[in-house]
Amino acid sequence: MSPIDKALEVIERAFRAMEDALPKARLITRGPTKVFRFKDPDIHHAIVMKLARFVSLLRAAKLLMENGYVQEQGILHRTMDETHEDIVFLVCAVTNDRVTELHERYLDAFWQEQFEHREDGALETNSRPMVPRKKIRAYISKILGGGGDPSSANKVGYTLYSGFSGFVHGAAPHIMDLYGGAPPRFHTQGLKGTPREDEYRYDYWNYIYRGLLSCIFAAKAFGAADLVSDLQAFTKQFTVETGREL
């Protein structure tokens, strides 16, 4: 088993341990459909749900990478950047601070249903007052940055985050990465066998590493000291085995 596949298994097991620490969601009726919802959701539920999203995104990005769809992989990398920030932001309220007004606003938007079913059968869309990403980054920098300048951390976070923005929004320079070959043409069935493939395979390591960090942060919020210790030991081993020791 490759180090990447082994890391995915470790991440999956850690996630399941935290998922199992919560009561199961219930099947309820909303309008004409039945959906799963937690009875009394709190910040720990939100952390686990964000971690579930990260794990799923990791596996989806690997499938895209293995089939040469690296631009689409880039879109998921952008989403994972945001999800990891959300996990750290939420965990800090439990481990380093308290649930602030900013967290309350974030969670209100997070739990809000997208649609309401009217009596006439029509759907009404709810607006979702999202907390600006720069405020989330500034908070993380304030709590974990050792007194560093939040605006500088915001700039770094924005630079990393915006690197994949063109893939999400379909900017011309990013689309042109699909163009090449002999004769030159747009590659719409993946970029397998091109230099882009190696670039994104190298970058995927960063998201596996970030997934391990997300699990460590989340496990701290659950007070799971043994799980934190095991994850930290594995993460160290993973960096050594992959030749990217930090």
pLDDT band, residue 160 (cuts 50/70/90): low
212 inside domain: yes
136 inside domain: yes
The two tokens of residue 190 are 């993946």
Q: Average pLDDT for residues 200-216, to the nearest whole number?
A: 96
Evaluate if residue 46 carries a pLDDT over 90: yes
pLDDT band, residue 30 (cuts 50/70/90): confident
Evaluate if residue 152 carries a pLDDT over 80: no
β-pairing, 115-117 vs 123-125, is: antiparallel
Q: Average pLDDT for residues 93-104, to the nearest whole number?
A: 96
Which class for 208: exposed (0-12), middle (13-18), buried (19 or more C-beta within 10 A)?
A: buried
pLDDT at 64: 97
Evaluate if residue 168 carries a pLDDT over 80: yes
Q: Beta-strand (E) ranges in the chain?
A: 26-30, 33-37, 115-117, 123-125, 179-180, 185-186
94 inside domain: yes
Q: Average pLDDT for residues 84-107, to the nearest whole number?
A: 96
CA distance 35 to 228: 33
Evaluate if residue 155 carries a pLDDT over 90: no
Evaluate if residue 209 carries a pLDDT over 70: yes
CA distance 228 to 224: 6
246 inside domain: no
pLDDT at 218: 98
From 149, 142, 130, select the one nearest 82 (Cα to Cα).
130
b/e burial code for range 73-112 (CB count within 10 A of at least 16 → b): bbbbbbbbbbbbbbbbbbbbbbeeeeeeebbeebbeebee
Q: Residue 193 has what DSSP assignment? A: T
Instruction: Give the helix/strand (H/E) hosting 234.
Output: helix 225-241
pLDDT band, residue 156 (cuts 50/70/90): low
CA distance 78 to 159: 11
- pLDDT of 58-68, one tens digit each? 999 999 999 99
Higher pLDDT, 127 or 204: 204
Whether the CA torsion 82, 87, 88, 93 is positive or negative: it is: positive
CA distance 175 to 195: 16
Evaluate if residue 153 carries a pLDDT over 60: no
* Polymer length of the chain: 246
106 inside domain: yes
pLDDT at 181: 85
Evaluate if residue 119 carries a pLDDT over 70: no
Percent of the chain's residues with pLDDT above 70: 88
Give me the amino acid identity at 71: Q
Alpha helical stretches, state H, 67-164: 70-95, 101-111, 133-144, 150-162
Whether the CA torsion 10, 153, 102, 56 is positive or negative: it is: negative
What's the domain count of the chain? 1
pLDDT at 170: 87
Evaluate if residue 192 carries a pLDDT over 80: yes
Q: Domain limits at 112?
A: 3-241
When the pLDDT of each residue in the chain is averaged and rounded to a whole number, the result is 90
